[in-house]
Structure 1
Amino acid sequence: MRISGSIALVTGANRGIGRHFTEELLKRGAAKVYATARDPELIDTPGVERLRLDITDQEAIETVAAAAPDTTLLINNAGVNTWTNLVDGDLAKIRLELATHFYGPLGMARAFAPVLAGNGGGAILNVLSAMSWFSYDGANAYGVGKAAGWSLTNGIRIELAGQGTLVTGLHLGAADTDMSAGYDGDKMDPAEIVRLALDGIEAGKLEVVADEWSAHVKASLAADPSAFYYLAPAAG
C-alpha cells in the first residue's frame, strides 16, 4: 500500500489526529483526500474534499460510501470519550462509546469493503488506543469501546485478507489533542503519531504501537493482572 497516489477517506477529520492525517496524506502525495465530520464546515485543511458523516448513523455511512467510490485507504479515526464508568454511569453515554468505537468502524468496514475490493484491495487503518488493553476508573466505557474496536480490527483483517485489503490497528497513549486537554501527563505529538501510522501502512504492518506506554501495556497482558492493577482493599 503506497500513500502516494492513493485515494484516502478520514473520519473525524475536523480536528486533532484526524486533521493531522489529512495534512500528512496530502504531503505524501495522496491523489485525493476525503475529509469527513458531522459538521464538514469545521474542516479547514486546504485541498481536501469535505463530506458530512456521523459514524453512528448507518444511513450516513452508506451515503458517504456512495460519494467516495474511488477510495483505496480508509482511516477510521473518529472517536469520543464520555469519561463514563460502567456500573453507575449513564447508559446512553456507554452506548455512544460503543456506537462510535465499535459499530461505527464496523459500519464503515462493511460499506467500504466492496469499494476497496473494486479498487484493488487497499487498506483500512483503525485508530485504537492503549486502553484497548487496560481499564481506567472514570473512563471504563472508553476502554470497553476501544477493546471492542481492537477485536473488530483483528476480525475484519482475517475476513478481508482474501480481497487483498490490509487492516492495521494503531495504538497510542495520550496525544496532545483536545480530547486529552484535561490530562496532565506526557502527551505525544499527534503529527508524529500520524507519521508512524502511515509508515506502518506502507510497510504492511498489521499493528502500529506508537509509544512506550502502549508497548508496556500490551506486554502486561501476558502477566498476572495484579502486577498491573492496584485494587484498594474494601474499607473495614
Structure 2
Amino acid sequence: MGLAMKVTDAVVFVTGANRGLGLAIARQARKQGAKKVYVAMRQVVGFQEEGLIPVQLDVNDEQSIQRAAQTCADTNILVNNAGIALLNTHPVDANIIDTTHKILETNLFGMMRVTQIFSPFLQQKQQGYVVNILSDVSWEPSTSLTGYAISKAAAWSYTNSCRQWLSQFHIQVMGVHVGFIDTDLTRSLPLTKFSPEFVAEQIFEGIQQNAYEVLVGERTQSLKQGLSDVVASYVKLKPDQI
C-alpha cells in the first residue's frame, strides 16, 4: 500500500468543517503539525480560527467545488466529511423516497462531486490521501434512519471503488466507520456517543499507519466482524434500534 503519509508535510482540506466532527478534524490536523489546513463550509462569514483557512464550498454546487479545488490545488489530504441526516418513520413510509433523495444528494453525490473534482490535483502529488467519513449504518439496519443508512452504504461502496482506481496514482482512500458522535446532529438522542475529538485522533492515527479503514470503537469492530457470521450482525440487531 506504500509508505505512510507524514501529516507534518500535508495540506489538509476538510468539507463540512464549520462545526462538529469536521472542525475537530481540522483542529487535529493543525495540532499534528499539518503545513496548511483548509476548512470548507457553505458560509464562511464570521468564521475565524487561528491556523485554519476558511473556504466557501457547497458539496451540492459543482461550481463552488471547482473554485475551491483551484484555490486549494496544493491539497494532498482530502477529508469528505460533509453530510446530513433526516429521520423517517419506517422504511416503507410515504416520504421514504423523497427523504432518501435529499440525503443521497449530499452524502453520496456530494462526496462523489468533491472527490471527482479534486482528483486531478491529488494525482499530481507524489502521495495523496482521501478520507471518507462513513458510519456503522453502512452495515446495520435502521428503522428511523433508513435513508441515511442507504447513503452511507452507497458511500462505502464508492469509497472501495475509488480506492481501487486511485491506488495507481499513489492515493490511499480510507473509510472511517463510526457510531454516533456527540454533535449538534445527535445532541437530542439518548445514546452512547464518541467525542468528535476522539474520532479525529483515530482518523490521524489511521493516516499515519497508511490504513485503508478505521473502525472507531468496539461496537463498530464487532459489527464488521459479524458480517460473515452464519446469522450476520445486520440480521441479529433488533428492528427498533436506530
Q: Could you tell me the TM-score, scaled by structure 2's length?
A: 0.91
Question: Structure 1 196/230 Cα, relative in aligned 2: closer, same or farther at 3 Å?
Answer: closer
In structure 1, C-alpha distance between the alignment counterparts of 2:79 and 2:52, rounded to whole Å? 14
In structure 1, C-alpha distance between the alignment counterparts of 2:85 and 2:50, rounded to whole Å? 28
In structure 2, C-alpha distance between the alignment counterparts of 1:17 and 1:62, rounded to whole Å? 24
Question: Structure 1 172/231 Cα, relative in aligned 2: closer, same or farther at 3 Å?
Answer: closer
- Equivalent residue for 1:87, pick from 82, 87, 92: 92
Q: Superposition pairs for residues 38-77 of structure 1, below 5 Å?
A: 38-41=42-45, 43-77=47-81
**2:72 partner amino acid:** A
In structure 2, C-alpha distance between the alignment counterparts of 1:159 and 1:184, rounded to whole Å? 40
In structure 2, C-alpha distance between the alignment counterparts of 1:159 and 1:100, rounded to whole Å? 22
Q: Superposition pairs for residues 91-170 of structure 1, below 5 Å?
A: 91-170=97-176
Aligned partners of 2:142 and 2:239 also within 8 Å: no
**2:62 partner amino acid:** Q
**1:87 partner amino acid:** V
- Name the counterpart of 1:27: 31
Structure with the greater relative contact order (CA < 8 A, sep ≥ 6): 1 or 2?
Answer: 2
Q: After TM superposition, give the deviation of residue 41 of structure 1 in Å.
A: 2.3
Q: After TM superposition, give the deviation of residue 117 of structure 1 in Å.
A: 1.1
Q: Could you tell me the TM-score, scaled by structure 1's length?
A: 0.93
In structure 2, C-alpha distance between the alignment counterparts of 1:58 and 1:170, rounded to whole Å? 24
**1:215 partner amino acid:** Q
Q: Per-residue displacement from partner, 1:5-51 (whole Å, max 9, x unpaired)?
A: 21110000011000101111111111111101111225343221111
Matched position secondary structure for 1:24: helix
Q: After TM superposition, give the deviation of residue 86 of structure 1 in Å.
A: 4.2
Question: Structure 1 227/117 Cα, relative in aligned 2: closer, same or farther at 3 Å?
Answer: closer
- Equivalent residue for 2:236, pick from 197, 207, 228: 228
Unaligned stretches of 5+ residues in structure 2 = none
Aligned partners of 1:8 and 1:34 also within 8 Å: yes
Aligned partners of 1:78 and 1:100 also within 8 Å: yes
**1:166 partner amino acid:** Q
Aligned partners of 1:6 and 1:72 also within 8 Å: yes
- Name the counterpart of 1:7: 11
Question: Structure 1 107/227 Cα, relative in aligned 2: closer, same or farther at 3 Å?
Answer: closer
- Name the counterpart of 2:21: 17
In structure 2, C-alpha distance between the alignment counterparts of 1:54 and 1:72, rounded to whole Å? 20
Q: Per-residue displacement from partner, 1:61-114 (whole Å, max 9, x unpaired)?
A: 112111111101000001110113542225443112111111111111111111
Root-mean-square deviation (Å): 1.6
Q: After TM superposition, give the deviation of residue 156 of structure 1 in Å.
A: 0.1
Unaligned stretches of 5+ residues in structure 1 = none
